[in-house]
Amino acid sequence: MKKFDPVAYKIMVKTFQNLDNPTGWFDSIYTDAKGDYRAVFWADLEPNPYLLKWLNNSVFNHTACRAIVIGCGVGDDAEALSEAGYEVTAFDISPEAIQLCKNRYPDSKVNYLIADLFDYPSHWAESFDLVYECNTIQVLPGKYRIQARDSMVSLLAPRGYILVSCRSRLKGEQEDDIPLPLDKEEIDGFIRCGLSEESFEAYNDSQEPSVPHFFASYYK
């Protein structure tokens, strides 16, 4: 298994971004794991606790509702949504990520698929009661971040909810970071798209040193 080298990683991502191929590198992160989902460096290997909190506190009835997980990685959050009662579609642009999910959860009820957020199957439009986004916008550059947000919103059925989990930063700071966290103005783009904010939390995670995050929910 290849050891994660943060400097080489940033150079690779920048190279793809400079070639205007912002999604061309994702599959390499998963193929480098050589079939071991535990070797994917960004995978927490547990569901996002803020997702679980939202599921526990929400008055929304989760059973028989349709959820879609954007850039599902190795599948922890998709499985948590399935456990909560959702009929879950989880997709990733990386074929190797989807294979890792299928190997990891052979009896899963989740429909794991290779798909591109920027070119998803047309019948998905406006058909999900819950859209779950965790850490995808932040690994995209410039105009692709806005396209990604708009594409996520376009998946929402009437009265649907979208949950957005990401690293955060103060406006004007960390402009060259990879991943580039979202600032408040950027995450408020979901409101500018016409959604209403249900909840918004800014918090620091338990890493050493801790990393600031946002977790927000919006409805249509």
Ligand X SMILES: C[S@@+](CC[C@H](N)C(=O)[O-])C[C@H]1O[C@@H](n2cnc3c(N)ncnc32)[C@H](O)[C@@H]1O
Residue 72, Cβ density class (10 Å: 0-12 exposed, 13-18 middle, ≥19 buried):
buried
Chain position carrying tokens 């971004």: 17
Q: How far apart are CA 22 and CA 143, in angstroms?
A: 10
- Residue 168 interacts with ligand X (CB under 6 A)? no
213: left (phi over 0), alpha (psi -120 to 50) or beta: beta
Stretch that binds ligand X, among 5-13, 58-66, 69-77, 212-220 (CB under 6 A): 69-77
Strands (E), the chain: 66-70, 87-92, 111-114, 128-134, 156-167, 196-204, 212-219
Of the candidate residues 13, 17, 23, 65, the single one contacting ligand X (CB under 6 A): 23
Q: Residue 93, interface with ligand X (CB under 6 A)? A: yes
CB-nearer residue toward ligand X: 180 or 195? 180
Minimum Å gap between C-beta 212 and ligand X is: 16
Cβ-closest residue to ligand X?
71
42 binding ligand X? (CB under 6 A): yes
- Binding segment for ligand X (CB under 6 A), chosen from 50-58, 93-101, 121-129, 154-162, is 93-101
Q: Which of 217, 218, 220 has its CA nearest to residue 53?
A: 217
The region of 98-106, 114-122, 182-190, 191-199 touching ligand X under the rule CB under 6 A is 114-122
Give the whole-angstrom CA distance, residue 139 versus residue 135. Answer: 7
Q: Does 117 bind ligand X (CB under 6 A)?
A: yes
**What does DSSP assign to residue 72?**
-
- List residues near ligand X by CB under 6 A: 23, 26, 42-43, 71-73, 91-94, 97, 116-118, 134-136, 139
